[in-house]
Structure 1
Amino acid sequence: MSETGRHADVPEETLPSERETAHVSVEKAENPFADPGLPPHEHRIQDIDERAAKRSERVVALQFLVSMLATVAFIASYVAVPVDKIVYIWPIGHISALNFALGLSLGVALFCIGAGAVHWARTLMSDVEVADERHPIEAEPEVKAKVMEDFAQGAKESGFGRRKLVRNTLFGALAMVPLSGVVLLRDLGPLPGTKLRTTGWKRGVRLVNQSTNLPLRPEDIAVGSLTFAKPEGLEDDAEDFNVQIAKDALMIVRIKPEDIKDKQELSWSYDGIVAYSKICTHVGCPISLYEQQTHHVLCPCHQSTFDLSDGGRVIFGPAGHALPQLHIMVKDGFLEAASGFEEPVGPSFWERG
């Protein structure tokens, strides 16, 4: 049907003009979707019934209290449950009782704080939707003032100051949860005391070949060779062997006396045989690479290099100080320690002099 046919029966004065038609078309192009606005606000039962609000408050407080009890259970489990205890939990299977108790109690503690906060927000805080226009990134002073006003209003509507039961139990739950992390510090063990400063070496302790478990004689050490030693009495199957050898391990090398540069090193040696700690002074790796022409030893972890002909000083790498030397002597044909180390072995620590 033609345009004339469609509007033949419509009075001309009632038809939209071309200008009006063009205006409507432009408006639709600029705003293709109409603003539906906000739906009417529906009040919650807690908004109109104070008894319902009190019930919600008690539910929130109960969740925070459960969180506090779970934190106490975490600490009690950490102290009371044996580390090696295994239990069967369906459908997981056999697991560590300690890990299960710690995970369950800490999970409950954190979940209850989150659940309590969500329930508080959904039932007790104001839920009125507010529309605001977009604004530039840099806020105007009036906008900043409005934000602070809105924040104060939100704090007031949240009931944080008025609902003391919720507020106090929340503070209690948040204050107790960090105790879980504090208790875990027990795994750091007791303070070391003098353990970092003492080793198994003392006067009269023989040097034992770590490979053969036989006491070392001077003639067993050839010029240019590298021998690893441990103190006599330290057995490989001892319960604390790994702890002790980490401090007691020695490197024994034989250098021509005329090649030794450090006077103390020469006086602490026997016929060119010198004994140094095998533990790198950077992070405690065992040193095992020896270059007999230069008398340098290299730590394979981070390439710290030490000169065994010059007091074990550092000549390259991140190590902070020289390798400690053990004063040795010969008695009844065997190499022995003339004293213990005069300084701590291994990596530096802040109390070290």
Structure 2
Amino acid sequence: MSEKNLPVKADEHHGAVEVAEPIADPGLEPHEYRITDLDPKAADRAERQVATMFTLAGLLALGSCVAYFAIPRDAILQFGPLTGNANNLTLGVTLGLSLFLIGAGAIQWAKQLMVDTEVIELRHDANSTPEQKADIMAGFSEGVAESGFSRRKLIRRSLIGAMGLLGLPAVVLLRDLGPLPGRSLYNTIWAKGIRVVNDVTDRPIKPSDLQVGQLVNAQPANLTPLQEESAVEYQNAKAKAAVIVVRIEPNKIQAPAGRENWGIDGILCYSKICTHVGCPISLYEQTTHHVLCPCHQSTFDLADGAKVVFGPAARPLPQLPLAVDAEGYLIAQAPFDEPVGASFWERG
């Protein structure tokens, strides 16, 4: 630093200007060695401590899997005025302690056993040269060596075991997503002769009840009795059997081959469940005859077999063939001839 660039300090009494000396580079403080750096027995003790934490973490993760199946779902634990579900509490405690011990073991490993010498690194350009990249890889390899991961087998094996066992609860807890669908989406409670009823009023629908451009949310008439028998069965059945009924000018309908007689005077019926991921749909635009899924904007043309005209859905909405019974109400000619709901690999 030249003299003209040195910091200056004014004399308050005489107004003289004094040239100040620059602050010297303090450098690095002398390195303080840990007891584990000097005493191999202390290092071995620290290694055993870390390995113990990792081993306990693995056992706790395994214990959470056992508790998931062994403790009844309705078991209750009571601590004075506090109560809680025994299954949930056990899972939380075991998984929480497992994660804590892995973190605590990693900290102990870093503080007691990994190399802790201080280094100075000068700032460099963001774009690394091939030589710098080679230095980085060499530094990484050196860091691996200094961490002792390859040398300290007890820590390495216990950590790998703990991390491996920690993945088991994640697999086990997939069970809570519910049973596999199997062929449940292939069948609904729709059957030949079942009346189409309004899903709010439960009233059967006649063709004369619908005007051109109107869309009605509907369901099968045999759904309501299930509500009194089982709430779960009712919700499952309704989720698959919900439909939309729309009336379009007959001359604007382009029925797919084989479906020419599936409508009644321009009245068509389709599944209400989007074929993308299963969202309920009913946002209808009568001019274009398009119905929109609010979740991911899949758009279906109801006048053309509910084919997909936009969005991620890969299949048209399943269509329910309609007829009219002796009393003039809309009924199903037959059940759906394909699975309803979201697409899946086995759907074919």
Same fold (TM over 0.5): yes
Q: Which residue of 2 aligns with 1:346?
A: 341
Structure 1 residue 248 displacement after superposition: 0.9
Q: Which residue of 1 aligns with 2:182?
A: 193
Call closer, same or farther: CA 1:244–1:220 in 2, change over 3 Å.
farther
Call closer, same or farther: CA 1:341–1:153 in 2, change over 3 Å.
closer
User: Which of these residues, 122, 125, 129, is aligned with residue 111 of structure 2?
Assistant: 122
Within a 5 Å distance, the mapping from 1:107-118 to structure 2 comes to: 107-118=96-107
User: Which of these residues, 306, 317, 337, is aligned with residue 332 of structure 2?
Assistant: 337
Q: Which residue of 2 aligns with 1:207?
A: 196
The 1-side partners of 2:115 and 2:98 are apart by 26
Structure 1 residue 290 displacement after superposition: 5.2
Structure 1 residue 32 displacement after superposition: 0.8
Cα contact 1:287–1:297 (8 A) shared by 2: no
Instruction: Answer yes or no: is 1:67 the counterpart of 2:57.
Output: yes
Cα root mean square deviation, aligned: 3.8
Cα contact 2:274–2:293 (8 A) shared by 1: no
The 2-side partners of 1:141 and 1:305 are apart by 52
Call closer, same or farther: CA 1:250–1:153 in 2, change over 3 Å.
closer
Instruction: Answer yes or no: is 1:299 the counterpart of 2:287.
Output: no
User: Which of these residues, 163, 172, 189, is aligned with residue 183 of structure 1?
Assistant: 172
Instruction: Answer yes or no: is 1:249 the counterpart of 2:242.
Output: yes
Aligned residues: 325
Structure 1 residue 232 displacement after superposition: 3.1
The 2-side partners of 1:150 and 1:317 are apart by 49
Call closer, same or farther: CA 1:59–1:256 in 2, change over 3 Å.
closer
Cα contact 2:198–2:217 (8 A) shared by 1: yes
Structure 1 residue 58 displacement after superposition: 1.8
- In our comparison, the structure showing a higher alpha carbon Rg is 1
Cα contact 1:266–1:272 (8 A) shared by 2: no
The 2-side partners of 1:192 and 1:321 are apart by 19
The 1-side partners of 2:315 and 2:87 are apart by 42
The 2-side partners of 1:95 and 1:200 are apart by 39
Q: Which residue of 2 aligns with 1:5?
A: none
Structure 1 residue 300 displacement after superposition: 6.6
Call closer, same or farther: CA 1:243–1:173 in 2, change over 3 Å.
same
User: Which of these residues, 34, 46, 50, is aligned with residue 36 of structure 2?
Assistant: 46
Unaligned runs of 5+ in 2: 8-18
The 2-side partners of 1:150 and 1:281 are apart by 52
The 2-side partners of 1:162 and 1:255 are apart by 76
Instruction: Answer yes or no: is 1:268 the counterpart of 2:262.
Output: yes
The 2-side partners of 1:47 and 1:121 are apart by 13
Structure 1 residue 246 displacement after superposition: 2.1
Could you list the per-position Cα deviations for residues 280-323 of structure 1 after superposition, in whole angstroms to 9, with x for gaps in the alignment? 4455443445566x482533726655444443345566654433
Structure 1 residue 273 displacement after superposition: 3.8
Call closer, same or farther: CA 1:181–1:296 in 2, change over 3 Å.
same
**Superposition TM-score, scaled by structure 2 size:** 0.74
Cα contact 1:296–1:305 (8 A) shared by 2: no
Q: Which residue of 2 aligns with 1:326?
A: 320
Q: Which residue of 2 aligns with 1:160?
A: 149
Within a 5 Å distance, the mapping from 1:15-94 to structure 2 comes to: 31-35=22-26, 37-39=28-30, 41-88=31-78, 93-94=82-83
Q: Which residue of 1 aligns with 2:13?
A: none
Q: Name the amino acid aligned to 1:344.
A: P
Cα contact 2:305–2:319 (8 A) shared by 1: yes
Identity of aligned residues (%): 46
The 2-side partners of 1:147 and 1:309 are apart by 63
Structure 1 residue 268 displacement after superposition: 1.5
Cα contact 1:207–1:229 (8 A) shared by 2: yes
Cα contact 1:221–1:273 (8 A) shared by 2: no
Unaligned runs of 5+ in 1: 1-21
Cα contact 2:50–2:108 (8 A) shared by 1: yes
Instruction: Choose 146-155 or 337-346, whichever is displaced more.
Output: 146-155
The 2-side partners of 1:306 and 1:319 are apart by 9
Q: Which residue of 2 aligns with 1:7?
A: none
Q: Name the amino acid aligned to 1:177.
A: L
User: Partner of 2:263: helix, strand, or coil?
Assistant: coil
Instruction: Answer yes or no: is 1:134 the counterpart of 2:122.
Output: yes
Call closer, same or farther: CA 1:194–1:162 in 2, change over 3 Å.
same
Could you list the per-position Cα deviations for residues 90-110 of structure 1 after superposition, in whole angstroms to 9, with x for gaps in the alignment? 89x444444432232222112
Instruction: Choose 228-237 or 100-109, whichever is displaced more.
Output: 228-237
User: Partner of 2:186: helix, strand, or coil?
Assistant: coil
The 2-side partners of 1:112 and 1:151 are apart by 26
**Superposition TM-score, scaled by structure 1 size:** 0.73
The 1-side partners of 2:332 and 2:112 are apart by 76
Structure 1 residue 144 displacement after superposition: 6.4
User: Which of these residues, 131, 137, 158, is aligned with residue 169 of structure 1?
Assistant: 158
Cα contact 2:283–2:294 (8 A) shared by 1: no
Cα contact 2:322–2:333 (8 A) shared by 1: yes
Q: Which residue of 2 aligns with 1:6?
A: none
Cα contact 1:223–1:256 (8 A) shared by 2: no
